[in-house]
Amino acid sequence: MAPATKKKAAVKLATKSAKPAGKSAAKPQLPLAEPILRPTFRRERRAFKAGIFPVAGCDEAGRGPLAGPVVSAAVILDPDRIPRGLNDSKKLDAEAREKLYEKICATAHVSVVFGAVDRIDRDNILRASLWASARAVKALPVRPKLVFMDGNMKIDCGCDCEAVVSGDALVLSVAAASIVAKVTRDRYMKRLAEAYPGYGFERHMGYSVPEHFRALQALGPTPHHRRSFAPVAAKFAAMGDRLEDVPDEALATVLPL
């Protein structure tokens, strides 16, 4: 065999040996999609079996914004009338939250407490949130024996409390509370937008977005901005604290309860 022919044969043989052999060759596996995490009623039912009833869920909305109160909600779901589609409020659009809010209020025991801006500035946002959450549980028309609290901190609320990290994504009662708190606060901020046009509260709900920073720079802070938050504190300092408090009439039109 000529040298050139031998070379071609060797290349052909090497190519064949590099290919996987028939059906026994392993095919590349695509990573499996992570399961969609949805809250369940398992923790509540486990409590029921242990003789613990009723059971509440508690969550808050509005820790991060520069303006507006923090809102905490507590919910005791009726095991026989749980609205379908309950989920972490952050995973739902505004329309879905509104519909579920109405269903929750129609079928469950619900309470809502506002942690005012003055309290946030005096105590800090964490303490104001925990205070509002504890008051929300105590304000329920039926006293629970156990409350599942979103997060890693328990509250002193007159009953047993179990903190659940990512509780709004895991526990159905907490998910319901997250929806009530979020919808209530969003409604409040939309009413606040009517009293203070130009800030865009109806769109960003008081959160730290470029539109809000521009309005804060152009218009200055309102009495509903949190003075203890750095961007607002700087603006108040520049203005010499010349703002007067105005009566807040928005809350009366927010809640149908």
Q: Look at residue 15 in the predicted model and tell me its pLDDT.
A: 47
Percent residues over pLDDT 90 in the chain: 75
Of 2, 67, 78, the residue nearest 228 (C-alpha): 67
When mean pLDDT is compared across 41-50, 59-68, 162-171, 246-255, the lowest value belongs to 246-255
Quick one: average pLDDT of 68-78? 98
Residue 115 — φ and ψ, nearest 5°?
Answer: -95, 105
**pTM of the shown model:** 0.82
Percent residues over pLDDT 70 in the chain: 79
With bands split at pLDDT 50, 70 and 90, how would you rate the model's confidence at 103? very high
Distance CA 158, CA 143 (A): 9
pLDDT tens digit string along 174-184?
999 999 999 99
Q: Look at residue 239 in the predicted model and tell me its pLDDT.
A: 75
CA dihedral over 115, 117, 118, 122, signed as positive or negative:
positive
Quick one: average pLDDT of 96-114? 98
Mean pLDDT of the chain: 87
pLDDT tens digit string along 130-147?
999 999 999 999 999 999
Residue-range domain boundaries for the chain: 42-195
pLDDT tens digit string along 145-162?
999 999 999 999 999 999
pLDDT at residue 28 greater than cutoff 50? yes
Residues 6 or more apart whose CB falls under 8 angstroms from that of 221 comprise 67, 227, 232, 235, 236, 239, 243
Distance CA 29, CA 26 (A): 9
Buried b (16+ CB within 10 A) or exposed e, 48-87: eeeeeebbbbbbbbbeebbbbbbbbbbbbbeeeebbeebb
- Domain 42-195 indexed as CATH 3.30.420.10: yes
* Number of CB atoms found within 10 A of residue 235's CB: 18
pLDDT tens digit string along 207-252?
999 999 999 999 999 999 999 999 998 887 877 655 444 444 545 5
Q: Look at residue 244 in the predicted model and tell me its pLDDT.
A: 47
